[in-house]
Amino acid sequence: FGALVDDTGREKPLTQSSFSSFLVKRDPGLRKCAFEQFYAEFQDHQYTLASSLAYSVKADVFRARARNYSSSLEAALFPDDLPAAVYEGLIKAVRVNLAPLFRYFELRRRVLGLKELHHYDTYVPMVAEIETHISFDQAVEHVVTALQPLGKEYVDVLERGLRGRWCDRYETKGKRSGAFSSGSYGAPPYILMNYKEDVFADVYTLAHEAGHSMHTWFSQKSQKYQDYDYPIFLAEVASTLNEELLTHHLLEQTRDPQMRAYIINRQVDDIRGTLFRQTMFAEFEKVIHEVEEAGDALTLDVFKSEYHKLLTGYFAENLLLDPQLDLECLRIPHFYGAFYVYKYATGISAAVALSEKVLRGDAGAVDAYLEFLKSGGSKFPLETLKAAGVDMTTPKPIESTLQLFERRLGELEELLLPAC
């Protein structure tokens, strides 16, 4: 993808990995240049990429038909015993609640002082990074305190683990980037991350991975080997719930407008990226598989046309759609493992619904949540969530998350618009 001179005056390579780092730069000209240069390469290879994606979809449809499924969507949902109505209900619930998203983009345009908002303007933070210095031990204290509503057993086990040897926390030579939680049956969970004391977001990363680890810990303690491993549909619930509780705790602890704006902006952006954007991706996957199942050709023009329709429906009221953006559908790796991304959207919705029950102090909410963690993979995911108090066959959990987005957006408008 070549190279670009960044805002420090140094030439830096533009790659798949570094593209996002250019989009958060304050200079709109640099963001635009990175966007155009990046997508120029996809333009040069668009026919090859479209052919590759088309054959991936064809393979999905072939496998579904070979096993007598009514559709490739039904085949993908079968292992988790999920009805297509859950997938379709997610899309419908989000589609009829896009007004707050349009408000969000208008807020972003005004805060950034732009005449018009492009897609490459949607990643630069509306609130500047908080200058902070939080040691790992202090981060553990924040996380443990935030998770007090989950009860003594949960926080005691987690604190011992984090202050013990559960977390490989500091960067060393040859260590990979990113963060994840892993483990094996009969052994303690293991968190790998590169904690930085001056990066406030790393406190959230710790809380997130701790959620996965505690899910694994409770499941191991309660289930036999064959039933302890939980499905992806449930995996992000425990980690995201921890982030929701951390956000609630931090907002309770501070009245500083800048800090509150930073925390709320983070939560709003998470919901935007996880619920709205992933649902749009999920709808695109459904559409292109239906095209193939109907016997129509999946060409470059079809991919671009169908993706453009979705971009228009989800974003166009407040976002100027550059023609290059139609090519985005050719660069999403998840599309080669179809019908996966919707789990991010359902996961955050279930997590928000459960966290609200816990924070309200609903009778039995904490015990029900701990039973959810202990269930592991012993039951199908809808059954596990229903026992915890969340019914994903209804739009209610998704609507609760959309309502949270709208409430937080209102708070963010109050904090940021007076300064515009």
What are the catalytic residues? 209
Under DSSP, the state recorded for 231 is P
Q: Which residue carries 């040691």 as its tokens?
A: 135
Nearest-angstrom CA–CA distance, 53 and 59? 10
At 194, which amino acid appears?
N
Question: Longest Cα pair distance anywhere in the chain, in angstroms?
Answer: 60
Q: Which residue carries 């499941």 as its tokens?
A: 219
Q: Which residue carries 């896009």 as its tokens?
A: 98
Radius of gyration of the chain, Cα coordinates, nearest whole angstrom: 22
Give the relative orientation of helices 136-146 and 201-222 as an angle to the nearest 10 degrees: 60
Tokens of 36: 């155009």
* Closest among 271, 276, 346, 340 to 310, alpha carbons compared: 276
Tokens of 49: 């990429």
* Closest among 270, 249, 250 to 260, alpha carbons compared: 250
CA separation (Å) from 265 to 124, 242, 257, 338, 359? 12, 17, 12, 30, 21
Edge-first strand listing for the sheet containing 190-192: 167-168, 190-192, 180-182
Q: SS3 of 192, please?
A: strand
Q: At 181, phi and psi to the nearest 5? A: -115, 135
At 208, which amino acid appears?
H
Q: SS3 of 184, please?
A: coil
Torsion of CA 336, 338, 342, 343, to 10 degrees: -90
